[in-house]
């Protein structure tokens, strides 16, 4: 059965609006730490630096896929100068292309975080991020209701839409807090909250002072834990909740690393996640010598699966972590506990 044109158009518009309201996101949110919370900057007890990249392709079979890409990196500062604390700095670049009007978003952020040990078994982190955002749209690729001539959309008809620009650039601010707790040598607990778009920037293509064009606050919270089982598995249950405007996103699940080499240099990664009322997300990955590659597939389980045959999205992340100055992970002293093989 062929999907009626108007139904398909309605679906694309609805899901597009929902995605735009929620903002950029990855199912592997734990592999995009600077996007989730600026307090994650430099939070890597076993390493001096890490660099990563993420790619997501969504709703490809609806005609105009949504593609999201990011590259990021962070490192520690003053790790040898302070006894019980350190500073992290980082940066990330993001690009998102969405819909038939080719709504293109480019974002660049820098972030800084301060990490302070609270005794021997806990750590408090606070972070700030600032960035510049540019969004542009190809208006010539859009069609509007008054261009319908009874048989087809006629692009030669003036849509009489009040566009004043096809590009907008603005300054953006974010902040966050993290708390980590290490009750035993084999258990780690981490939770955090963050707020984004704290300056309420305006991104309207119609009016520079329009209140309706102000980007809503985005609040995000997460909880995760690492549990080491003998020297074979490290299990990571996770929950992630984000709210932007009236749109909520909740992701819960678990992934686990299987020690393949005995010393942890080679690990298999398996996981399963669930995005509330949207998708079931199986995940698989491999880590070798501190290089981690992880792939997931979002299988749509909402009513949208009638239109996209349950083909939601696929996503890949690559992260490389390392040490500076020729040190090895076995010889490197760390200031707070970590769960590792």
For residue 341, being part of any structural domain is answered with no
Q: What is the pLDDT of residues 129-151, one digit of tens each?
A: 999 999 988 877 777 777 777 77
Stretches where the chain sits below pLDDT 70 are 1-23, 59-64, 99-101, 154-155, 162, 207-212, 304-311, 326-334
For residue 333, being part of any structural domain is answered with no
For residue 133, being part of any structural domain is answered with yes
- Residue 274 CA, distance from chain mean position: 15
Among candidates 332, 239, 237, 255, which has minimal Cα distance to 290? 332
Q: What pLDDT is stored for residue 46 in this prediction?
A: 87
DSSP 204-225: -SS-TT-GGGBPPPEEEEEEEE
Q: What pLDDT is stored for residue 180 in this prediction?
A: 95
The angle formed by the CA atoms of residues 126, 128 and 131, to the nearest 5 degrees, is 160
For residue 70, being part of any structural domain is answered with yes
Residue 80 to residues 2, 84, 87, Cα–Cα distance (Å): 65, 10, 11
CATH number at residue 167: 2.40.160.40
Round to whole Å and give the CA distance between 174 and 198.
6
Residue 287 to residues 30, 114, 125, 257, 291, Cα–Cα distance (Å): 15, 28, 27, 9, 5
For residue 309, being part of any structural domain is answered with yes
Range of the domain at 191: 5-322
Q: What pLDDT is stored for residue 7 in this prediction?
A: 37
For residue 105, being part of any structural domain is answered with yes
Round to whole Å and give the CA distance between 339 and 341.
7
For residue 337, being part of any structural domain is answered with no
Q: What is the pLDDT of residues 33-59, one digit of tens each?
A: 999 999 999 999 889 999 999 999 986
Mean pLDDT of the chain: 85
**Whether 280 contacts 274, CB under 8 Å:** yes
The angle formed by the CA atoms of residues 279, 43 and 221, to the nearest 5 degrees, is 40
Could you give the number of structural domains in the chain? Answer: 1
Q: What pLDDT is stored for residue 211 in this prediction?
A: 58
Half-sphere exposure of 182 (CA within 13 A, CB side): 18
* Burial bucket for residue 39 (CB in 10 Å: 0-12, 13-18, 19+): buried
Residue 188 to residues 75, 226, 234, Cα–Cα distance (Å): 22, 5, 10
For residue 336, being part of any structural domain is answered with no
Among candidates 313, 252, 310, 271, which has minimal Cα distance to 19? 313
Q: What pLDDT is stored for residue 134 in this prediction?
A: 95
Round to whole Å and give the CA distance between 89 and 93.
14
């Amino acid at each position: 059965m062929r999907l009626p044109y108007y139904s398909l158009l309605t679906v694309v518009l609805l899901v597009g609006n929902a995605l735009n309201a929620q903002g950029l996101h990855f199912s592997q949110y734990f592999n995009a730490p600077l996007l989730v919370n600026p307090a994650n900057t430099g939070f890597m007890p076993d390493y001096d630096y890490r660099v990563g990249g993420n790619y997501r392709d969504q709703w490809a079979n609806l005609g105009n896929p949504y593609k999201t890409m990011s590259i990021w990196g962070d490192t520690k500062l003053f790790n040898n100068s302070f006894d019980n604390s350190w500073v992290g700095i980082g940066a990330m670049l993001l690009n998102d292309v969405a819909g038939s009007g080719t709504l293109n978003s480019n974002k660049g952020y820098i972030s800084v975080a301060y990490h302070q040990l609270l005794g021997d078994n806990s750590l408090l982190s606070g972070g700030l991020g600032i960035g510049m955002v540019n969004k542009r749209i190809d208006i010539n690729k859009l069609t509007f209701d008054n261009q319908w001539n009874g048989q087809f959309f006629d692009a030669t008809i003036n849509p009489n839409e009040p566009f004043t620009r096809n590009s907008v650039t603005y300054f953006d601010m974010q902040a966050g807090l993290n708390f980590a707790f290490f009750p035993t040598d084999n258990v780690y607990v981490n939770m955090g909250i963050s707020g984004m778009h704290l300056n309420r920037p305006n991104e309207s293509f119609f009016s520079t002072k329009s209140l309706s064009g102000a980007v809503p606050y985005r609040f995000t919270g997460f909880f995760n834990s690492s549990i080491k089982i003998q020297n074979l598995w490290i299990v990571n249950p996770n929950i992630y909740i984000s709210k932007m405007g009236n749109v909520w996103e909740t992701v819960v699940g678990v992934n686990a690393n299987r020690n393949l080499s005995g010393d942890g240099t080679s690990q298999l990664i398996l996981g399963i996640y669930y995005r509330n009322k949207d998708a079931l997300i199986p995940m698989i990955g491999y880590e070798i010598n501190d290089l981690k590659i992880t792939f997931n597939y979002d299988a749509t389980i909402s009513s949208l699966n009638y239109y996209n045959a349950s083909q939601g999205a696929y996503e890949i992340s690559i992260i490389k972590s390392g040490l500076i100055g020729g040190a090895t992970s076995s010889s490197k002293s760390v200031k707070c506990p970590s769960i590792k093989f």
